[in-house]
Structure 1
């Protein structure tokens, strides 16, 4: 299928495109602000439109009118297409509230539903709660992103504690993809109920453990998702992670992984000179590489971006390099002899759900 994604450069847009790239063969056409005027032509032969673009900052009038205008543009593009593309709208649980944002989202949904009715297409309304996840912008996309930035800086922000429902952006993306492939007209994916204070406390505790290389307790999916969000924000400045080498007359000992309360699986590989392993990404899995013999270059790239991070490592001075979720990664033997690498993942390998998707760095 040919899928047009509006708001493609935004937080949810990036997560949705990354998931589509990893898990489906569909052709994805991203539309951001720069290419908005091309929308009618791009929609003309589309099978599905994922309308993820929205306005959540500005004056009340800018937020209300902005969401309505974006929906009107999508509706006009659909009416100009002879392909009758299905429309999936990333709506909000706040739609219909007596705020400019609630009114704008409610109005946008009505406009898109009418366009689908007029053209004989299908409309799916996906009402999303508060989203968070890797690479959100602090003070913009999510309070979780704001907390992550503050925790990394060693700050403790003032909060107004309250109960809140949180949904990871990858789970939101999957709900949107399911709506695109299915027949459901109204979708309300459920997040996890927690509190603002608990989120901040969890991030502080995770950062305290992880800044020394330890893996914190990951007792439930929310804790894992928060940790992956934190790791992604720390990745560029926190790799590699130093490991302590203890030596005496018998030899040396290095602890490669210290995981607190987590299941996991360790394994090792040998690699011949010049050979590259990996070239894939994970959506949820936490993975660590430690070279214990030989020389290697570990390369990482955030999916759908071009910048590559290279980390050169050697078994003479072992360090840990953790693979952020949604980053393609590989390891290449750059030495003259055999390379030995220890790997650790936080979950047992499941051949029916390996969470490993091909992606060249």
Structure 2
């Protein structure tokens, strides 16, 4: 299939083109405002499907709205007619088309032109009135409050909130792209005359800002937000895409002594904590037990032995472990336990605990195995 994408360098266009290529579509005609106008004629001669994403939303004058949105749509249609091409057209319109403002009127005029084209020439037309979009590669301080908040907060810049109670309706870019690709394959989501993205989220502006600030704090205290919430997961991924390049990496606090080191890596509110334990040769660590806390040990380098004993029993259970044959050993509550490095090199252990460490309630009691 040969696919024409107008506005290919825009926010939606870049994400769509990237995913089409991921899925193996190799004949993609990328048309943008810098391209020669003749290319539009050439592309409409060959294409089997048109994603019409090009548009104007921040012009120098109001007249540019109509010229960029309605005018370019007319050029696209004329090129298809000249080439006698019956390719379907998917048009990225806006919920602003319902409003009486210069931008909305220009998008509505383009919609009407496309529906008239469908009626007269038979090309299938799919019109999506998109709400506010968010996701990677959206330009901050342009037309996306999510992009602006994510960029400014990640870069220690202030944000402006005029009314924290304004309710936003948001759609995630990957959901847009998935729907657009389904539409190309004849599986669009219809709502009357128009099509829609089937998954959307609503949030107060003030709550949005608060959530993004919490992501920034999470990076600083090693925590991870509750990613079982679909919107939180998508917004968190969006925030990370705006991190400045010098903040991709950050150092961890290593608690070092003669036995090796212990370093906290990740903490979650509902999925526990991951830490890295490095143990020197011949060293034994542990000899303690927990009432409720439970752990999983995974040796990824070196070799050693994990010993466990139920606190009311004399029976010692041993697991010989090695980075050469990975296995997880569960440490149940009520079992005192230790781990010994029996090799001649440092042993590296990944430890998962069911809860982040709380110094006020450590639930850790010394007892020799």
| TM superposition score normalised by structure 1 | 0.69
Give the whole-Å Cα distance in 2 for the aligned partners of 1:116 and 1:264.
57
The SS at the match of 2:58 is coil
Unaligned runs of 5+ in 1: 267-291, 294-339, 345-361
Counterpart mapping for 1:165-314 below 5 A: 165-182=169-186, 184=188, 186-189=194-197, 190-234=199-243, 236-261=245-270
1:43-62 equivalent positions in 2, closer than 5 A: 43-58=44-59, 59-62=61-64
1:145 corresponds, among 144, 147, 151, to: 147
1:19 and 2:19 are equivalent in the alignment = yes
Higher RCO, Cα 8 Å, sep 6+: 1
**Aligned partners of 2:220 and 2:17: how far apart in 1?**
30
User: What is the alpha-carbon distance in structure 1 between the residues aligned to residue 138 and residue 268 of structure 2?
Assistant: 26
Partner of 1:121: 123
Corresponding position of 1:78: 80
Aligned to 2:323: none
Q: CA deviation at 1:24?
A: 4.6
Contact 2:267-2:274 at 8 Å conserved across structures: no
Q: How many angstroms apart in 1 are the aligned matches of 2:63 and 2:211?
A: 37
CA RMSD of aligned residues (A): 2.7
Deviations 1:273-294 (A, max 9, x none): xxxxxxxxxxxxxxxxxxx87x
**Partners of 1:5 and 1:210 in 2: CA distance:** 37
Tell me which residue corresponds to 2:42. 41
Kindly indicate whether the alpha-carbon contact (under 8 Å) linking 2:133 and 2:144 is maintained by their aligned counterparts in 1: yes
SS at structure 2 position matched to 1:241: coil
CA offsets per residue over residues 4-60 of structure 1, 9 Å max, x none?
Answer: 111000011111112222235353221111215111101111010000011111232
On the 8 A contact 1:79/1:115 being kept in 2, the answer is no
Q: Look up the SS of the partner of 1:233 in the other structure.
A: coil
Aligned counterpart, 2:5? 5
Structure possessing the higher radius of gyration over alpha carbons? 2
1:179 alignment partner, SS class: helix
Answer yes or no: is the 8 Å Cα contact 1:148–1:203 preserved in 2.
Answer: yes
Shift of 1:64: 2.7
Give the match for residue 158 of structure 1.
160
Rounded to whole Å, the distance in 2 between the matches of 1:39 and 1:264 is 55
Match of 1:90 in 2: 92
Residue of structure 2 equivalent to 1:134: 136
The residue that corresponds to 2:357 in the other structure is: none
Q: Indicate if the aligned counterparts of 1:90 and 1:176 stay in contact, CA closer than 8 A.
A: no
Give the Cα separation in 1 of the matches to 2:114 and 2:204: 34
CA distance in 1, matches of 2:220, 2:232: 17
Alpha-carbon distance in structure 1 between the residues aligned to 2:263 and 2:128: 49
Aligned residues: 273
Asked if the contact 2:266–2:274 (Cα under 8 Å) also holds between the matched residues in 1, the reply is no
| Deviation, structure 1 residue 261 | 3.2
In the alignment, structure 2 segments of 5+ residues that lack a partner are 276-299, 302-347, 353-369
Cα pair 2:89 2:126 within 8 Å, conserved:
yes
SS in structure 1 of the partner of residue 79 of structure 2: helix
